[in-house]
Structure 1
Amino acid sequence: MTRQTLPLDPVLAGYVTAMQREPAPLAQLRAATAGHRLAKMQLAPEQGQLLMLLLQLTGARRYLEVGTYTGYSALAAALAMGAAGQVTACDVSDAFTRVAREHWQAAGVAERITLTLQPALRTLDTLLADGLAGQFDCMLIDADKPGYPDYYERALQLVRPGGLILLDNMLLGGDVATARDDEAPGTAVIRDLNAALRDDERVTHCFLPLGDGLTVLIRR
């Protein structure tokens, strides 16, 4: 039997959050988003810290994300990469990303973030058509779940060999563990994708129970 790791009850989860070394601009953005009815869509602070650590560890300079919401992950990436870094962000919501733009500006990183508001596949295919295959150091997928397989296949083309691909919400609150007739749309997609990623020889694979489930891949 596999040894079970420590479960995070609300008290312990709060302690983990309090122990994050979260830069002030990220803490301010998280606080500004906390009251929103869709606040759970925001990257967890511990996931943000891991993202920043991985970007710094790999010397990343070009970061791409699908799903920006109020801008936490893009801000984390811009702060981690510094003045030499460039962030490309894909989203469809002007309302959500308006909050993002305000906080990017306040943090002094807005000029390093390019935001495109349209269906992400269109943006990703445009990047490929523009000759940017293999030009990104890291890509984060954190958007509509039915689109994950297509986003992942584009990531394999856009991220350089040795670069990182991260996928968020791979646990879906635990719903992926047991199939149900009434499960939410996209749950089966993520369940199948989890199994496919585990067996995909094109990447080195690590599946973490961090936040709502974070898969970290290295493109081979």
Structure 2
Amino acid sequence: MSRTSDIPGLTDYLTRLAGQDDTLARVNRETGELPHGGMQSRPDQGALLTILAKTVGTRTAVEVGTFTGYGAICIARGLADGGRLTCFEYDPEYAEIARGNLDSAGVGDRTTIVVGPAIEGLATFTEEIDFAYVDADKPGYPGYYDALLPKLRSGGMMVLDNTLLGGRVIEAGDDRTRTMAELNTRIANDPAVDSVLIGLADGMTIVRKR
């Protein structure tokens, strides 16, 4: 049986069914033209983020790695009334692009972008978190997980993107993939959470704090 990732035209099919509006379609298109455009969340991933944020009744959300804001828009649209999203983005140029995209999507009033190393920002973040999304530098994932989990409320959710690294985690032949593979195993065995690593796009790990 063929893997779904091998089926011609499937990504376009999923995109058509993901419920993109004109703003998200524009962000998706313009981001895809950037040198690192492949880093952005896929439309079906974005739709999932909105659903998950709504499911846990998110009032306080955190995103680690915002890039041009596609995922942030999706999370912000899933916030409960009065909810807030804090985005940590290392690159000031991407942060500026993301701010413009968030404003054009009509969710700029419920988001804050913090420019600089996320691990430093998380250290001073004192609010209890309902929903967290991590899509940043992969070697930093263990630190982000450890920083976020104590701040996540019971029943809260964390989503980590790219946790399969193109399947390279199976053999884990270099430091980057070995770090991710070790984190995947640690999360799967963490008694503090329920978790699943799903094969969506490049792998998404969904964590629910017990």
Question: Which residue matches 2:42?
Answer: 44
State the AA in 2 paired with 1:139: A
Equivalent in the alignment of 1:92: 90
SS in 2 for 1:77: helix
**How much has 1:179 moved relative to structure 2?**
3.0
Corresponding residue for residue 161 of structure 2 = 168
| Separation in structure 1 between the aligned mates of residue 80 and residue 27 of structure 2, nearest angstrom | 18
Q: Structure 1 194/101 Cα, relative in aligned 2: closer, same or farther at 3 Å?
A: same
1:197 aligns with 2:187: yes
Separation of aligned partners in 2, 1:106 and 1:82: 20
Cα RMSD over matched residues? 1.6
Instruction: Specify which of 7, 16, 21 is matched with residue 4 of structure 2.
Output: 7
Superposition misfits of 4+ residues, deviation over 3 angstroms: none
For residue 8 of structure 1, report the CA deviation from its aligned partner: 2.0
127, 130, 135: which is aligned to 1:137?
Answer: 130
The answer on whether the counterparts of 2:84 and 2:110 sit within 8 Å (CA) in structure 1 is yes
Q: What is the SS of the residue equivalent to 1:81?
A: coil
Q: TM-score, normalised by structure 1?
A: 0.90
- Shift of the alpha carbon at 1:23? 2.9
Write the letter of the residue equivalent to 2:109: E
Q: Which residue of 2 aligns with 1:24?
A: 22
CA contact under 8 A between 2:57 and 2:80: conserved in structure 1? no
Unaligned residue ranges in structure 2 (runs of 5+):
none
Segment drifting more, 74-83 vs 36-45:
74-83
Q: Which residue, 151, 154, 177 being the options, matches 2:147?
A: 154
| CA–CA distance in structure 1, aligned partners of residues 60 and 82 of structure 2 | 9
CA gap 1:106/1:82 in 2 versus in 1, 3 angstroms: farther
Q: What does residue 212 of structure 1 align with?
A: 202
Question: Could you tell me how far 1:25 is from its partner in structure 2?
Answer: 2.0
Write the distance in 2 (CA, Å) between the matches of 1:83 and 1:27: 25
Preserved contact between residue 153 and residue 209 of structure 2 (Cα < 8 Å): yes
Gaps of at least 5 residues in structure 1 are none
CA distance in structure 1 between the partners assigned to 2:42 and 2:89 by the alignment? 18
Taking only the aligned residue pairs, the percentage that are identical comes to 35
Aligned residue type for 2:201? G
Deviations 1:66-92 (A, max 9, x none): 100001111111122265221000011
Could you state the TM-score of these two structures normalised by the residue count of structure 2?
0.94
Contact map agreement 2:56 2:155 (CA 8 A) in 1 = no
